[in-house]
Amino acid sequence: MQKEIIVIIGGPGTGKTTIIEGLIARGFCCYPEVSREVTMKAKKQGIEQLFLENPLLFSELLLEGRKKQFQNACQEPTSLVFLDRGIPDVLAYMHYIGDSYPAHFDLCCKEHLYTKIFILPPWEEIYVSDAERYENYEQAKLIYNHLMGTYQHYGYDLIEVPKGTLDDRIAFILEQVNQ
């Protein structure tokens, strides 16, 4: 059985989580974004914004979480697994803030390869800030550019998901997956 591990990426507030939830509701195997879990754990330890206070530690924790998701996805009994963000997202965010990272981050991106990457463009009409999302819309657009550049650096062809209803976006993704 050919395993397809598909990643949905995009800047903050572009609808990734909503799409993942929609795919779950349709019976697909999906893994949620790990950064909210990492952020919530840090808050319980009294660290308000771990990404801002210690970006390298935050990124290390994300990297480990995303590696584990990839490994778990490979073990799923289904041939198709969707992930909310992938390993190169970690590097894209480090590029965005201008921070360096250890060489094993790059190696991780080369060792864990995804089948397809869907990217959601910035969409101001649906953008909302919340307790875990500190970026404003302008910053979200910059992050989108860093995501594109980072994934392209690792040789991925990005498939841009058009703006539209949740059903339309999911239909587009599934149509592309089945080609």
* Pairs from 64-69 (Cβ < 8 Å, separation ≥ 24): 65/34, 65/37, 65/38, 66/34, 66/90, 66/112, 67/108, 67/112, 69/31, 69/34
Domain 4-177 is found in CATH 3.30.200.20: no
Per-residue pLDDT, 118: 98
Rounded to a whole number of angstroms, the distance between the first and last alpha carbons of the chain is 17
Q: What tens digit of pLDDT does each residue of 37-80 get?
A: 877 787 787 767 766 677 788 888 889 999 999 999 999 999 99
Of all residues in the chain, the percent with pLDDT exceeding 70 is 91
Enter the pTM of the model.
0.90
Q: How confident is the model at residue 148 (pLDDT cuts 50, 70, 90)?
A: very high
Average pLDDT of the chain?
Answer: 89
Contact 140, 14 (CB under 8 A): yes
Rounded to an integer, what distance in angstroms lies between the CA atom of residue 77 and that of residue 92? 31
Whether residue 150 has pLDDT greater than 70: yes
Rounded to an integer, what distance in angstroms lies between the CA atom of residue 173 and that of residue 83? 13
All structural domains of the chain with their residue ranges? 4-177
